[in-house]
Structure 1
Amino acid sequence: MPPPSLRRILVSGATGKQGGALIASLLSHSTPTFEIYALTRNPKSRSAQALSSKPNVKVIQGDFSNPSAIFAQIPKPWGFFSVTNPINVAREEAQGKAMTAAALAAGVQHIVFTATDRGINSDEDATVIPHFASKFRIERDIIAKSRETGATYTFLRPVAFYENLTDDFLGKGFVSVWRINGDESRIKFVSTKDIGKVAAEAFLKAGEERYKNKAVALAGDDVSLKEFQQIFEEETGKKLPETFGVVGKGLRWALHEQLGIMFTWFTTDGFGVDVRENKKQYPFLKDFREWLRTESAWRKE
């Protein structure tokens, strides 16, 4: 059994980018503060096995369709890192709310939920983007349920992920869909590892004013597609991964709810976080150039 001073937290998406980054950040502290329960569907996967070898980390198996069974594996959980899958927004919302209910029923005292920045009025505007609106409703549900139990929460509201840029069909498609908006169109980005660092702070400093029942927007850069392409080619010496324009148009049409509506919103509204002010609060937030050099698949070893 861990020492009484170690608080137990459940990390969903533990083998994914955000959950993995959170765990790495918590483990980087010299004095252990938490016993981490890493949630995965497949505890035999290579990434899950790697986590199980870490100190103060226990890998547990579970599925969002049965949240009570997940929390039943954790004696007296204190915290819950909630990250949801936006592929099916109706399922995302239902599962996100069910996990919140199960967490609070199990006695969780602090929830960190990764939502998204929704423009200049993220507290009130769900937006027309389905997978933004689902996270907005999960936020509202957390607020309502936490009032009933006295639990606290922190909402992380990141912008687009640098990790959307990959040298495969999805990454090339992302650039091609962006290209339809024009070379001067701008998007704000953030590193998922940096999200994990802030999530760790939100648990470590849960009682502080900055995090207690607050939302934190996160962005490391604000770039046009033209700047994005130039930086990429300067840093890597390669062409920016991209597919044919007709493929981009096809993706924007076929994935209208996931991509089409969102990329139109980028031109009409866009993310609201002030990057310069954000980096005063979190100086470690990486810009695109630094991400390419330090974290991307194109970094030079």
Structure 2
Amino acid sequence: MDLIGVTGVPGNVGTPLVAELLARGARVRVLARRPDHARQVLGDVLGEGALAGVEFGHLDFGNRRTYVAAFRGVRRLFVTRPPQLSQVGRDMIPALDVALGAGVEQMALLSLQGVERLRFVPHAKLEAYMQESGARYTFLRPSFFLQNLTTTHLPELQRGEIYVPAGGGRTSFVDVRDVAEAGAVVLTEGGHENRAYELTGSESLTYGEVAAHFSAVTGRPIRYADPSPLAFYRHLRARGVAPGQILVMEAIYGVARLGLAGRVTPDLARLLGRSPRTVDDFARDHADLIRGEGA
């Protein structure tokens, strides 16, 4: 089987993707800015025994000296944009050029639902590059990750709030574990070349309804704060989040606020051969975090 390079480890999708690929008998090279840290996290999650067949390479987007060795021998590549990188033409595309020169034949990109309406976001620039590169590509365009609420927005959630500027718009939330499984499918099975999949859950909810589901499942009252975009920006800047990262989030929540993020598609269910996980499933699996009892 071809050697598959995976970026975005440790991360919401990258970590479970490695587990899914290994379960399918794939050869995997984790490409990380801090390979030792990636190895430690994967060992904690999967168990040290599972890492026997995993390679670890140093890849630091923006550091050209790391590119050649990272991609040597890789034939399929899962590409995740690090959230702090907004200038992908400067920091990522040169690395992908080297990957193509090293023999990468297929790229699967973790993109964004509605990217065709958000041509200014970094994901759109990466999609355009891959379409013009001559390599086979697959775009995974997931809706809003439920896990964002227990990672990026965990400080607010642990004080009993969902704090995002999405208004009353609906969102077709998705669990990253399902996205990772879909990534493993498109990287290990044929028939997914030069295609884009819009990955959503099977239900469309407002953030207020998500708060109500979290409350009902966990027994802890959770409220939806619905800050203004300006208040959201100021709040995250005070937390130390980079301006570029906040602006990408503002764009995503703006789409929801305008009522454009609620689309539900069958793509994920077809790839997985089963129904996607629901918000209630997620709440049960992450009840300790939602109750403020986990770290």
Task: Work out whether the TM-score is over 0.5.
Answer: yes
Task: Quote the offset at 1:108 in angstroms.
Answer: 0.6
Query: Identity of aligned pairs, percent?
Result: 21
- The aligned length equals 272
| Structure-2 separation of matches of 1:181 and 1:241 | 13
Gaps of 5+ in 2: 238-242
| Structure-1 separation of matches of 2:109 and 2:287 | 25
| Structure-2 separation of matches of 1:49 and 1:279 | 30
* AA of the residue aligned to 2:258: T
Task: Quote the offset at 1:114 in angstroms.
Answer: 0.5
Match of 1:159 among 135, 143, 148: 143
SS of the residue 2:35 aligns to: coil
| Structure-1 separation of matches of 2:268 and 2:8 | 25
Task: Quote the offset at 1:181 in angstroms.
Answer: 1.2
Which residue number corresponds to residue 3 of structure 2? 8
Which residue number corresponds to residue 217 of structure 2? 235
Match of 2:112 among 101, 116, 119: 116
* AA of the residue aligned to 1:156: L
Aligned-residue CA RMSD (Å): 3.0
Contact 2:217 2:280 in 1 (8 A): yes
Task: Quote the offset at 1:44 in angstroms.
Answer: 2.9
| Structure-1 separation of matches of 2:131 and 2:158 | 38
Contact 1:160 1:190 in 2 (8 A): yes
> 1:133-282 counterparts in 2 under 5 A?
133-145=121-133, 147=134, 151-166=135-150, 168-169=154-155, 171=157, 175-178=162-165, 181-182=167-168, 185-205=169-189, 207-208=190-191, 211-220=192-201, 221-240=203-222, 250-252=231-233, 257-271=247-261, 273-275=263-265, 278-282=268-272
Match of 1:39 among 28, 31, 39: 31
Task: Quote the offset at 1:263 in angstroms.
Answer: 2.5
* AA of the residue aligned to 2:63: N
The 1:281–1:57 alpha-carbon spacing in structure 2 relative to 1, beyond 3 Å, is: closer
Contact 1:10 1:36 in 2 (8 A): yes
Task: Quote the offset at 1:294 in angstroms.
Answer: 3.0
The 1:223–1:110 alpha-carbon spacing in structure 2 relative to 1, beyond 3 Å, is: same
- Normalised to the residue count of structure 2, the TM-score between the two structures is 0.79
Task: Quote the offset at 1:67 in angstroms.
Answer: 4.9
- Residues 181-204 of structure 1, C-alpha deviations (whole Å, 9 max, x = no match): 14xx31221111111100000111
- Residues 131-162 of structure 1, C-alpha deviations (whole Å, 9 max, x = no match): xx2111110101111x2xxx311110001110
* AA of the residue aligned to 2:200: A
Gaps of 5+ in 1: 1-5
- Tell me if 1:285 matches 2:276: yes
Contact 1:68 1:102 in 2 (8 A): no
| Structure-2 separation of matches of 1:126 and 1:181 | 19
- Residues 177-227 of structure 1, C-alpha deviations (whole Å, 9 max, x = no match): 34x614xx312211111111000001111x31xx11001111113112232
Which residue number corresponds to residue 3 of structure 1? none
| Structure-2 separation of matches of 1:181 and 1:270 | 12
Higher mean Cα deviation, 18-27 or 64-73? Answer: 64-73
Match of 2:12 among 1, 11, 17: 17
The 1:102–1:88 alpha-carbon spacing in structure 2 relative to 1, beyond 3 Å, is: same
The 1:276–1:48 alpha-carbon spacing in structure 2 relative to 1, beyond 3 Å, is: closer
Contact 1:81 1:111 in 2 (8 A): yes
| Structure-1 separation of matches of 2:53 and 2:4 | 11
| Structure-1 separation of matches of 2:197 and 2:227 | 37
Contact 2:197 2:267 in 1 (8 A): no
Contact 1:218 1:273 in 2 (8 A): no
Contact 1:78 1:109 in 2 (8 A): yes
The 1:107–1:260 alpha-carbon spacing in structure 2 relative to 1, beyond 3 Å, is: closer
Task: Quote the offset at 1:293 in angstroms.
Answer: 1.9
| Structure-2 separation of matches of 1:106 and 1:296 | 44
Which residue number corresponds to residue 240 of structure 2? none
